Structure 1
Amino acid sequence: MNLELLQRIENSSAHRKSREDNAQYILNNPKLISELIKLAFNTGNKDHYKYCWILELVLEERLHLADPFLDVFCSKISKFSHESALRPISKICMFLAKHMILTKDQEQKIIESCFDWLILENVKVATKAYSIRALFELGKKNDWIYLELKRIISDDYTKYSAAYKAVSKEILKKMK
């Protein structure tokens, strides 16, 4: 275990600069990506969400670093419940849906998690918005997704904030 990585991230904060500095540390030391992923997916660690924040920024910059870990990522995304981890994990799902070639099994696990996040009441809007975008992308190959996504978005449209409504309206327009 890389002690410098542990110390850097455990002492980090939610401030963008702090997250970006830690992401840059990983980008400068890509061999640490496997440790970052292990730490992010250790939901028993009280700080696992901080590792998820960093993972999101790293993969936004270099999504190909996720290649060797896609099966692990997809098999574990349903284990997250901490909202501070769900937002970056759902955003990573969106990146993967848009830019990676996924196996049917990987797609299925992302689809299931995104639909779960959409229908759960206690999940915040940002996670729902990234889930909607990921499902839209995956629906390009799996047309049944659009039927279910339209129904959920329409049913929930009035329940959530302006941000949710804006994403919903955008995606509904694209699905027509």
Structure 2
Amino acid sequence: MTRAELYKELNYVNHSREMRLKYANLVIDNPELIAPLLDILFDVDDKISCRAAWVFEFMCGENLDAIIPHLDTFTANISKVHLDPAVRPIAKICEYLTKAHYSKTENLIKKELSEPHKERIIEACFDWMINDEKIAPKAYSMNSLYLLGTEYDWIHPELVIILERDYEMQSSGFKARAKHILKRIKNS
């Protein structure tokens, strides 16, 4: 399947779990499609990029190791994503990566997620926390930053400042997650 054919196929992807999973499995079964999928995803002003992000998120949810050869591309471009329907899945993938990296069980992400990858994820997550994003990217970012803060001692103090500053102005979903993260930081 060419990039053009994949682009055309992405027109059929919708919000349904069934469709996102169908195309995620297509990509998992054909790993050569990951590079063109990322190419489409990071064409950030094209509305189809959001559909590519949905598929990529589902692919990572099913088989996170498939992202490993593409970590450089993924982390180098995450800060460019700006359309709301694409930001959420990208933030979710960052959470998948950080959860895997700090997991107690051995996995390939622990070996492959490098310092530059983590630094780019940190930058993107802080951007999503301070920018006018919806609750989901902020919630995924809080989790990622909490985990990264167990390694980078400067992150937790910065995260606490943001969470406490924004607490009153945010939704109940933000408040619930922020309360949980603040409690975890204070207990660590």
TM-score range, shorter chain: over 0.9
Q: Is the 8 A contact 2:45 2:83 kept in 1?
A: no
Distance in 1 (CA, whole Å) between partners of 2:172 and 2:23 is 32
> For residue 126 of structure 1, what is the aligned residue in structure 2?
136
Cα deviation for residue 21 of structure 1 reads: 1.5
Match for residue 154 of structure 2 among 129, 135, 144: 144
Give the aligned CA root-mean-square deviation in angstroms: 1.4
Unmatched tracts of structure 1, length 5 or more: none
1:9 aligned partner: 10
**Deviation at 1:11?**
2.0
- Cα distance in 1 for partners of 2:152, 2:3 equals 41
Give 2:104's aligned residue.
Answer: none
Shift of residue 44, structure 1, vs aligned partner: 3.5
2:60 corresponds to which residue? 59
Residues 1-48 of structure 1: CA distance to partner in whole angstroms, max 9, x if unpaired?
Answer: 245432321122122222122112212222312221111112142210
Matches of 1:20 and 1:148 in 2, distance apart? 36
Separation of aligned partners in 2, 1:19 and 1:4: 17
Which residue pairs with 2:23 in the alignment?
22
Question: 3-state SS of the aligned residue for 2:152?
Answer: coil
Matched length:
175
Secondary structure at the counterpart of residue 57 of structure 2: helix
The residue aligned with 1:90 is: 91
1:141 to partner: Cα distance: 0.6
CA distance in structure 1 between the partners assigned to 2:85 and 2:65 by the alignment? 24
Amino acid at match of 1:136: Y
The residue type equivalent to 1:147 in the other structure is P
SS for the counterpart of 2:77 is: helix
Q: Which residue of 1 aligns with 2:115?
A: 104
Distance in 2, matches of 1:6 and 1:82, equals 18
**1:88 offset after TM fit, Å?**
0.3
Q: C-alpha deviations, 1:135-162, integer Å up to 9, x for none? A: 1111111011000001111111111111
TM-score of the pair, normalised by structure 1: 0.93
Q: Distance in 2 between matches of 1:152 and 1:44?
A: 29
Tell me what 2:40 maps to: 39
Change (3 A) 1:2 1:76: closer
Q: Deviations over 1:100-127 (max 9, x none)?
A: 332221111111111011011x211111
Deviates more, 1:16-25 or 1:74-83: 16-25
